[in-house]
């Protein structure tokens, strides 16, 4: 059985104070020992240290929302993998649709970030997912193929064990429109099958695939009940402690 994994992507939201309050409230519900699901929060970079302090002693992991592939140097505005580890990050979200479609990241850039993170010892949540126009044109699987091929280029089977995939249909992110449980299950099954074809049975059976796209307390249980859905990557609903902890409870 794969352990479910619920992650909150705060995007460019919260203040230092509201972020610490949110993290403190979540941490109070996630004990260091005995929580049956993995839980992560990914605050904006400037609040990583404050949030790290707030979740200290709990079972909540700390995530970053991005990382750069170079180790150091003249890359104004970028943040290196070692810096993220240095402030206590347990994982990094890469390839989020906003990084792809708003900020112009390509599969090649994302792959360099994936490799740098894994080589630097920082586990990765790698996001994939199709635009509405792709789904309407029946190109969902082709897009997943493209993003998996690009994002996982040169990733070994051993390194794959440090990756969690997040299937996030772009048309469902922040829109209030959720994929139906059947749509999510179909895309997750396709993704797992893709991993099986490239890496074999054991990695495919082990890899966790989160669903993301307007996950809320009222739809979480049904989505998480699908056989190939191993958790959730949550945006909007991760900004309210009650909603996020209700989603965690749905996963337990
Ligand atoms: C996300 O940001 O990854 C996301 C899924 O956002 P939302 O839950 O708001 O759709």
What pLDDT sits at residue 26? 98
Q: Which domains does the chain have, with CATH numbers?
A: 5-251 (3.20.20.70)
Q: Quick check: 65 and 84 in contact, CB under 8 A?
A: no
The verdict on ipTM greater than 0.90 is yes
Does 101 qualify as catalytic in the annotation?
no
> For ligand 1, atom 2, which residue shows the shortest CA distance?
235
213 is an annotated ligand-binding site residue: no
Catalytic member of 96, 98, 105, 130: 96
What HEC string does 42-72 produce? ECCHHHHHHHHHHHCCECEEEEECCCECCCC
- Alpha-carbon radius of gyration of the chain: 17
Per-residue pLDDT of the chain (252 residues), as tens digits, is 899 999 999 999 999 999 999 999 999 999 999 999 999 999 999 999 999 999 999 999 999 999 999 999 999 999 999 999 999 999 999 999 999 999 999 999 999 999 999 999 999 999 999 999 999 999 999 999 999 999 999 999 999 999 999 999 999 998 988 999 999 999 999 999 999 999 999 999 999 999 999 999 999 999 999 999 999 999 999 999 999 999 999 999
CA of 236 to the centre of ligand 1 (A): 6
Distance in angstroms (rounded) separating the CA atoms of residues 89 and 59: 13
Give the E-state strand segments of the chain in sequence order.
5-9, 38-42, 60-64, 91-94, 124-128, 163-167, 209-212, 231-234
235 is an annotated ligand-binding site residue: yes
125 CB near ligand 1 (under 6 Å): no
What pLDDT sits at residue 129? 98
Does 96 qualify as catalytic in the annotation?
yes
CA of 214 to the centre of ligand 1 (A): 6
What pLDDT sits at residue 176? 87
Distance in angstroms (rounded) separating the CA atoms of residues 180 and 93: 24
Catalytic member of 98, 105, 130, 168: 168
């Amino acid at each position: 059985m794969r352990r479910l994994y619920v992650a909150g992507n705060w995007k460019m939201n919260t203040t230092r104070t509201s972020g610490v309050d949110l993290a403190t409230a979540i941490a109070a519900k996630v004990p260091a020992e005995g929580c049956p699901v993995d839980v992560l929060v990914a605050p904006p970079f400037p609040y990583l240290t404050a949030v790290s302090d707030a979740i200290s002693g709990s079972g909540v992991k700390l995530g970053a929302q991005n990382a750069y592939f170079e180790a150091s140097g003249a890359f104004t505005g970028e943040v290196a993998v070692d810096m993220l580890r240095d402030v206590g990050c347990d994982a990094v979200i890469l390839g989020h649709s906003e990084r792809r479609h708003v900020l112009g990241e390509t599969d090649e850039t994302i792959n360099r970030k994936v490799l740098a993170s894994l080589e630097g010892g920082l586990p990765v949540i790698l996001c994939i997912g199709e635009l509405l126009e792709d789904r309407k044109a029946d190109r969902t699987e082709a897009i997943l193929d493209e993003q998996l091929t690009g994002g996982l280029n040169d990733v070994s089977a051993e390194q794959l064990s440090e990756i969690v995939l997040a299937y996030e249909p772009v048309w469902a992110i922040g829109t209030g429109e959720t994929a139906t449980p059947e749509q999510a299950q179909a895309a997750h099954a396709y993704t797992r099958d893709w991993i099986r074809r490239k890496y074999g049975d054991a990695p495919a059976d082990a890899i966790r695939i989160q669903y993301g796209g307007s996950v809320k307390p009222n739809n979480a249980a049904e989505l998480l009940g699908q056989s190939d859905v191993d958790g959730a990557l949550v945006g909007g609903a991760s900004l309210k402690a009650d909603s996020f902890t209700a989603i965690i409870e749905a996963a337990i």
